[in-house]
Amino acid sequence: EAQVTQNPRYLITVTGKKLTVTCSQNMNHEYMSWYRQDPGLGLRQIYYSMNVEVTDKGDVPEGYKVSRKEKRNFPLILESPSPNQTSLYFCASSFISGRAQETQYFGPGTRLLVL
């Protein structure tokens, strides 16, 4: 089954404790992206990647890191989480060429609470 998976689905942590949220897709997509979803703000892009070893900042990158060492994986790293990073996080992926690039496929989300 074609899908984007994220782990963990729920996470409670404390301020300053480094954490990683994993994202993996099995559709051979070049493009991968991380969003955060907050009430009243919609989805805001954190980082995106056009392909292996190619990453770039989105609209709200502060406090986050990413890496793209393999095509299928795009982990999101919070080196020193703070309470304002409490949010619902989504990973998404798509192709980058042709009409297929226009559809982004989303993971199920990771709900993060930083105390």
Q: Where does this chain bind other proteins (CB under 8 A)?
A: 4, 31, 33, 35, 40-45, 48, 50, 58, 90, 92, 96, 101-109
- The smaller minimum CB distance to other proteins, of residues 29 and 82, is found at 29
Q: Can you read off the two tokens belonging to residue 32?
A: 């991968």
Q: How far is the CB of 74 from other proteins (least distance, A)?
A: 14
- The smaller minimum CB distance to other proteins, of residues 44 and 72, is found at 44
Q: How far is the CB of 12 from other proteins (least distance, A)?
A: 17
- The smaller minimum CB distance to other proteins, of residues 4 and 78, is found at 4
Q: How far is the CB of 47 from other proteins (least distance, A)?
A: 11
Burial status of residue 39 (CB atoms within 10 A of its CB: 0-12, 13-18, 19 or more): exposed
Pairing label, strands 10-13, 19-25: unpaired
Q: Can you read off the two tokens belonging to residue 108?
A: 């199920």
Helix (H) or strand (E) holding 1: none
Report how far residue 95's alpha carbon sits from residue 51's, in angstroms, rounded to the nearest whole number: 10
